């Protein structure tokens, strides 16, 4: 007979409903399961489970605890109907006795038998639960892990050296993760203050260094060995599910990447193309802000896409992303035009996405401007690509560049690429009327001198000051910033110096 421990009881899946009312002794050499106390025998450091609901009053419980303690029993479990109060717990504490209560005492009895008598029964029980999980038609690896965790009554996770990749049930904490020996070629069993963990290497040709982990609280050696058997049996099904998911992932990425290419290369939006985009949840209508993540060294675009997809739900609006070339292109779509403050919050979330992905992969990120409609989405995607290329050389900006009304370096980049920049500059000044545009141009052309600008415009300085406050509010800028003034001046000059659009020849006489 094996020793029985309180940790072992609490870690058993069939004892999930057990409540610890008082904690005294935690290890027992003998276990008795009886209908009532009349069947108990004297036992040194023993544990007893009584299946009958009596006694029915707290004072009768006190008397029972004393009589059972006189037999040498230091652990006692009752059905949930037993009326145990504070006085009963206080008495058990004085006697050094552990009190438990279970809503399913017959299942607790089976768990006790497995723990002390059935050396292989615990492992067989867990294997049966693994088989139930494998028989379930899981949709993804995460779905499979959730079913394994639910059936085993323990946390289940896929991990590598960087941390948890996917999980079912509670996440393993840093203390448990530190116990795992990732160099083991097969099974690794370990216990520590934070609990116990069994892991096995997962054979995956595309995901080296991955381990399947089953973890729980402190448990006996018998239970930990049984957990090792369970994780070993589950591993082939998990490896197969990973492979299936990867095949599906590659197919989905290829289809969506091809669709994005068709959208960017097709000069006009056709009904057929719009329908294909809608089937993927992509809307060309509304307002769009694109972003682009690309590797600073070689990084598998699918690895970037996996990392991005895990963070997309945290972004505002309808978020989409797909592989495009050597990186990932994504965008956010809004039904209504966001305010400048809302847009900056969105950009902040994209920066958080960038930082999260960059913690694991060497990437650079670019963000395009806000634009509307199908043509605007295509333009924002192009801007995001340009910004990402610029970000590759910008370690001082944490490899993150946003083409917007604030970024001097982004405007300078676009200055050399007029097809991208001039529409961006025009969009920048869209909130301004003709008077405000001329006022801003005069102010910038006269080196931000209110005196000279007001004289050139023929208006009072107070009038100029009111106009400048209105311009700052409309553009969402602070004109006391020298970089902002220079960026705006570049944009003004780009539009002013643009060649005129040739008139179409008239027909007829």
pLDDT score recorded for residue 288 = 92
Distance of CA 395 to the CA centre of its chain: 26
Helix (H, G, I), strand (E, B) or coil at 293: strand
Contact (Cβ atoms closer than 8 angstroms) between residue 69 and residue 46: no
Lowest mean pLDDT among 22-31, 54-63, 168-177, 456-465: 54-63
**Per-residue DSSP letter, 503:** P
Tokens of 90: 């206080």
Residues 405 and 427: beta-carbon distance below 8 Å = no
CA distance 376 to 381: 9
The confidence band for 467, taking pLDDT boundaries of 50, 70 and 90, is very high
Return mean pLDDT, the chain.
83
Q: What percent of the chain has pLDDT over 70?
A: 89
Q: List the chain domain ranges.
A: 4-116, 121-243, 266-404, 427-496
Mean pLDDT of 305-316: 83
DSSP secondary structure code for residue 15 in this structure? G
266-404, superfamily in CATH?
Answer: Reverse transcriptase/Diguanylate cyclase domain (3.30.70.270)
CB atoms within 10 A of CB 369: 25
Would you say how long the chain is, in residues?
509
Q: Indicate the CATH number for domain 4-116.
A: 3.40.1390.20
DSSP letter assigned to residue 59: H
Contacts of 500 (CB under 8 A, 6+ apart): none
Residue from 320, 303, 325 nearest 380 by CA: 320
**Which tens digit of pLDDT belongs to each residue from 15-51?**
888 999 999 998 888 888 887 888 788 888 889 988 7
The answer to whether residues 25 and 98 touch, using CB atoms and an 8 Å cutoff, is: yes
Pick the CATH number of 121-243 from 1.10.1740.10, 3.30.70.580, 3.30.450.40, 2.60.40.10: 3.30.450.40
Q: Is 19 helix (H, G, I), strand (E, B) or coil?
A: strand
pLDDT: which is higher, 84 or 35: 84
CA atoms within 13 A on the CB side of 267: 0
Tokens representing 410? 């982004």
- Say if residues 322 and 257 touch (Cβ distance below 8 Å): yes
CATH topology assigned to domain 427-496: Arc Repressor Mutant, subunit A (1.10.10)
Q: What is the dihedral of CA 430, 434, 440, 444, to 10 degrees?
A: 100
């Amino acid at each position: 007979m094996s020793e029985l421990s309180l940790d072992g009881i609490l870690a058993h899946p069939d004892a999930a409903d057990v409540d610890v009312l008082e904690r005294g002794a935690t290890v027992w050499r003998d276990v008795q399961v009886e209908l009532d106390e009349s069947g108990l025998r004297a036992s040194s450091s023993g544990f007893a489970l009584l299946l009958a609901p009596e006694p029915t009053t707290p004072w009768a419980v006190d008397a029972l605890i004393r009589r059972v303690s006189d037999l040498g029993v230091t652990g006692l479990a009752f059905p949930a109907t037993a009326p145990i109060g504070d006085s009963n717990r206080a008495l058990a504490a004085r006697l050094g006795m552990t009190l438990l209560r279970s809503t399913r005492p017959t299942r607790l009895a089976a768990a006790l038998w497995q723990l002390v008598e059935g050396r292989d029964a615990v492992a067989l029980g867990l294997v049966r639960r693994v088989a139930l999980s494998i028989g379930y038609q899981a949709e993804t690896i995460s779905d499979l892990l959730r079913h394994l965790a639910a059936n085993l009554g323990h946390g289940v996770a896929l991990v590598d050296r960087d941390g948890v990749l996917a999980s079912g049930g509670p996440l393993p904490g840093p203390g448990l993760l530190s116990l795992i020996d990732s160099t083991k070629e097969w099974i690794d069993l370990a216990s520590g203050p934070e609990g116990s963990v069994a892991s096995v290497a997962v054979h995956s040709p595309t995901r080296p260094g991955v381990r399947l982990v089953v973890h729980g609280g402190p448990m006996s050696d018998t239970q930990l060995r049984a957990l090792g058997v369970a994780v070993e049996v589950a591993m082939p099904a998990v490896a197969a599910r990973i492979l299936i998911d990867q095949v599906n992932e590659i197919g989905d990425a290829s289809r969506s990447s091809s669709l994005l290419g068709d959208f960017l290369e097709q000069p006009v939006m056709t009904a057929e193309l719009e329908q294909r985009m809608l089937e993927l949840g992509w809307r060309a209508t509304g307002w769009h802000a694109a972003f682009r993540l690309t590797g600073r060294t070689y990084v598998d675009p699918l690895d970037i896409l996996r990392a991005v997809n895990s963070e997309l739900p945290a972004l505002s609006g309808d978020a989409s992303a797909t592989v495009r070339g050597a990186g990932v292109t994504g965008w956010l779509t809004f039904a209504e035009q966001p305010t400048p403050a809302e847009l900056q919050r969105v950009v902040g979330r994209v920066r958080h996405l960038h930082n999260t992905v960059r913690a694991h992969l060497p990437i650079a990120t670019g963000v395009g401007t806000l634009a509307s409609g199908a043509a605007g989405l295509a333009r924002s995607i192009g801007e995001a690509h340009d910004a990402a290329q610029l970000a590759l050389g910008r370690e001082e900006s944490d490899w993150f560049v946003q083409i917007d009304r604030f970024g001097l370096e982004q405007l300078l980049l676009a200055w050399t690429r007029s097809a991208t920049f001039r529409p961006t500059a025009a969009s920048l000044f869209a909130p301004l009327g003709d008077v405000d545009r001329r006022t801003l141009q005069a102010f910038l052309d006269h080196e931000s001198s209110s005196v000279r600008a007001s004289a050139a415009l023929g208006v009072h300085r107070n009038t100029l000051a009111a106009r400048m406050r209105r311009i700052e509010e409309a553009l969402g800028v602070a004109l006391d910033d020298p970089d902002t003034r220079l960026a705006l001046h570049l944009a003004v000059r780009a539009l002013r110096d643009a060649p005129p659009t040739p008139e179409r020849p008239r027909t007829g006489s």
